[in-house]
Amino acid sequence: MRNSNWLLASVCAALIAAAAPAWSCVNTFEDELQGSLAAGDAAAVAEIVQRLETAHAQKPTLENSNDLGVARLLTGKIDAAIGLFRETETKFPGNARVAANLGSALELKGENEEARHWIREGVLRDPSEHEGSEWLHVRILDAKLALAKDPGWFAKNSVLSLDFGSGDVPVAPEILPIEKGKLKGGEDLLRQITYQLAERTKFVKPPDAIVGDLYASAGDLAIAAGLSELGDGEEKANRLYETALVFGAPHEKLVRARLAKYQADIAALPPPKPKKAAEEVVEYPSATESLKSSARLFWIFVVGAFTLAIGGIVVHMMRRRRIGGG
Each residue's pLDDT tens digit, 200-215: 888 789 999 999 999 9
With cut-offs at 50, 70 and 90, classify the pLDDT of residue 270. confident
Question: How many separate domains does the chain show?
Answer: 3
Q: Are 152 and 118 within one domain? A: no
β-bridge mates for residue 18, sequence order: 136
Q: Are 33 and 91 within one domain? A: yes
- Indicate the range of 94-98, 240-244, 254-258, 284-288 predicted with least confidence: 284-288
Cβ atoms 285, 279 nearer than 8 A: no
C-alpha pair distances (Å), 65 with each of 37, 50, 61, 70, 157: 20, 13, 6, 9, 39
Element (H, E) at 256: helix 252-267
Tell whether the model's pLDDT for residue 322 goes beyond 70. Answer: no
Sequence-ordered list of residues with C-beta below 8 angstroms from that of 100, at least 6 positions apart, any chain:
22, 25, 26, 118, 119, 122, 129, 130, 134
Dist. CA 121–CA 233, nearest whole Å: 40
Q: Are 303 and 194 within one domain? A: no
With cut-offs at 50, 70 and 90, classify the pLDDT of residue 90. very high
Q: Are 25 and 66 within one domain? A: yes
Cβ atoms 168, 256 nearer than 8 A: no
Cβ atoms 121, 99 nearer than 8 A: yes
Question: Of 270, 301, 318, which residue constitutes the final position of a domain?
Answer: 270
The answer to whether residue 4 is domain-embedded is no
Sequence-ordered list of residues with C-beta below 8 angstroms from that of 119, at least 6 positions apart, any chain:
18, 19, 20, 21, 22, 99, 100, 103, 104, 107, 134, 137, 138, 141
Q: Are 214 and 266 within one domain? A: yes
The domain containing residue 248 runs over which residues?
140-270
The answer to whether residue 6 is domain-embedded is no
In 3-state terms the chain splits into helix, strand, coil percentages (rounded to 5) of 65, 0, 35
**125-145 pLDDT tens trace:** 999 988 899 999 999 999 999
Q: Are 155 and 260 within one domain? A: yes
How confident is the prediction for the chain on average, in pLDDT? Answer: 80
- Looking at residue 174, its pLDDT comes to 82
Q: Are 264 and 291 within one domain? A: no
Average pLDDT over residues 285-308: 56
- Indicate the range of 38-47, 184-193, 223-232, 311-320 predicted with least confidence: 311-320
Dist. CA 16–CA 221, nearest whole Å: 15
- Looking at residue 255, its pLDDT comes to 98
**150-192 pLDDT tens trace:** 999 999 999 999 999 999 999 988 877 766 666 678 888 999 9
Question: Of 270, 295, 318, which residue constitutes the final position of a domain?
Answer: 270
Q: Are 144 and 266 within one domain? A: yes
Q: Which long-range contacts (CB under 8 A, 24 or more apart) does 81-87 make?
A: 81/105, 82/106, 82/109
Average pLDDT over residues 12-39: 56
**40-78 pLDDT tens trace:** 899 999 999 999 999 999 999 999 999 999 999 989 999
Q: Are 207 and 190 within one domain? A: yes
The answer to whether residue 1 is domain-embedded is no
Dist. CA 33–CA 67, nearest whole Å: 11
β-bridge mates for residue 20, sequence order: 137
- Looking at residue 2, its pLDDT comes to 41
Q: Are 125 and 32 within one domain? A: yes
The answer to whether residue 119 is domain-embedded is yes
Q: Which residue, among 263, 265, 267, has the nearest Cα to 245 in the 3D structure? A: 263
The answer to whether residue 8 is domain-embedded is no
The answer to whether residue 13 is domain-embedded is no
The dihedral sign for the CA sequence 12, 98, 212, 32: positive
User: Could you tell me the pTM of the whole model?
Assistant: 0.71
Tell whether the model's pLDDT for residue 259 goes beyond 80. Answer: yes
Q: How far apart are the first and last CA of the chain?
A: 115
Question: Of 132, 163, 198, which residue constitutes the final position of a domain?
Answer: 132
Please state the separation of Cα 277 from the chain's center in Å.
Answer: 37
Dist. CA 203–CA 268, nearest whole Å: 38
- Looking at residue 6, its pLDDT comes to 36
Buried b (16+ CB within 10 A) or exposed e, 76-111: ebbebbbebbbebbeebeebbbbbbbbbbbbbbeee
The answer to whether residue 218 is domain-embedded is yes
Q: Which residue, among 19, 302, 276, has the nearest Cα to 141 in the 3D structure? A: 19
CATH of the domain at 72: 1.25.40.10
β-bridge mates for residue 183, sequence order: 178
Q: Are 144 and 128 within one domain? A: no
Dist. CA 149–CA 143, nearest whole Å: 10
Q: Are 235 and 199 within one domain? A: yes
The answer to whether residue 11 is domain-embedded is no
